[in-house]
Structure 1
Amino acid sequence: MPKAAITKRTVDAAKPSERDQFIWDIDVAGFGLKVTPAGGKVYVFQYRMARPGEAARTAAKRYTIGKHGKLTADQARSRARELAAMVEMGTDPRQAEIDAFAAIEAEKTAKAERVRLETELAFDRAADTWLEYYEHEKGRRPASVRQARLIVANHLKPALGSKPMPHIDRSDLQPILDSIPAKQKATKRAVFAYASILFGWAAKRGMINGNPLTAMERPSPPDARKRVLTDAELADTFRATQDCRTPFGAFFRLLILTGQRRSEVAGMEWSELDRASAVWTIPAERAKNKAAHIVPLSAPVLEELDRLAGVKGQEKQNWPVSGFVLTTTGENAISGISKAKLALDAAIEKARDGEALAAWRIHDLRRTLATGLQRLGVRFEVTEAVLNHVSGAKSGVAGVYQQHDWKDEKRSALEAWARHVSSILNPAPAKNVAHLRPAIS
């Protein structure tokens, strides 16, 4: 192969041929110029690496320094000397370049992952995405969606913030549960349940390797509530609803008379009601057990709805065909039920001359109706049907084959309950009783 001092003159004078031609520098060993058949001129460096512990060298390797024009001959020679020094030190220039490129790519990947951890995988952002999925993809009940949003906003986000999901483990989640007072068992259990659903969803999407809550102890369930209002307490409560602002008084009275869930009554729509047949049909998507539910309407309930519709006493009592029954805006169902409950408690206490009612919850009205129906001699299966419970007589195999809807029995039960409520509100006067004197001997 021809050798010459590789200078600008040498490079400019080099001519292409049918094959690659090489000119090797007489000064720096391995430094050369490659001339391609197309006339391209490229500076190269050719070298051999000694095997570790051996004097023998491996096959020659060729490193491309760069094209003539982008580099001058002197710049290329200087780079060749640097490469020769690397080889002398035992560093393979080509491998070093590969390693450098790999390091750059690794840094790019790491940077992209850091960005992903700070954005897509940040807890607050992932939680918002999950809430949208939870509400719309699964078609959850509004009450369940509201609770999920409250738990994320009040318990999870304040503690976890924007911490990357893959970096969250039991040591982050346990303090959240421990911060909830021990007496608030229902809250603690709800936070655990919704957090488990959220992290399970994230695991299925590949955001995290596994759900950290599966290895955590599930909080104990709250003690079963047994609070049932006595007839006197129920009467005081019913009367006090008259002092609640519209439409919350009607809301509480409908709860007492129908025994349905607070979310179902609060979200009642005119389209679900049929005055002619005196029936309220709760659609499956609004029912807790996802089963459409027929609620016969007793006479007091019809009167309550007539008042809400503004047709009480009119010759034609036609209800609206759309919209929410209980609303303060005309567009949305009522909210602020907790505040309304506090106002009702205050009204009850005032009516009882400052004596507060023993602690009770809205759900206790439902239990009160169920207990009342039992006292009235209503069959257990009918009570379950009134409450739309899929348990007891309607669960398991029995639920598959027993398809009776108990519509007539439910109507009789709710009418009997309405009469009972009316009787405790307007007790009949005591009849005169003649007391006989004992005979005198």
Structure 2
Amino acid sequence: MKAKLTPSFVTEATAAPGADRTTYWDEAQPGFGLMVTRNGHRSYVIQYRTGLRSRRMHLKKGLTLTAARKEAKAILGDVARNRDPLSERRKAERAESDTLRAVVEEYLTREGKRLRSINERRATLQRHVLPSLGTRQIGDITRTDIVRMLDRIADETGAPMADHVLAHLRRVMTWHASRSDDFRSPIVRGIARTSPSQRRRQRILTDACSALNPERVFVLS
């Protein structure tokens, strides 16, 4: 239904009786409206057409009526330039959720209860991996990117630490590959910086240290 949207109207508006939500379309600005739910939640929306498709887009939360009008005008300006703002927003949101940082956080959240030393894993990834690769799309990270990162870690803190970081990153990427139709981990055999025998010796030392001091566990896989 149409209404004259004013600050007082926005504050006092309620959903129509029996309706889950009601949209009040602004009389002054076509396509711009206020949606009110039965629970009293309010949000501004913009309705537009792109080609033969009608789109309804919710504006950013917390906007004043004046700011929402300005935002709606800008969106309609984009539409007039043959852009589809809702599709662009969804694409950006998907891209943000597919960064290595987002994947690592989801991995730690979902698998944390089954992981040993989750705090150490998180700290290792945050210190050695995320500063250089965290904002990258996980699907865009190449073997070369990982090799260069391992080179840096090996030069700064030694080959065993490079392999320690690699083990954690391998787990994250293998986990993500199991949940994705398109992703393939760029990590392959032979990328490690120490030999299998060296890693076995390190694992024995790790297990021994863990038995003596459970708070200082050095996880290799």
RCO higher in 1 or 2 (8 Å CA, sep ≥ 6)?
Answer: 2
**Which one has a larger percent strand, Structure 1 or Structure 2?**
2
| Higher alpha-carbon Rg | 1
TM-score in terms of structure 2 length: 0.49
TM-score in terms of structure 1 length: 0.26
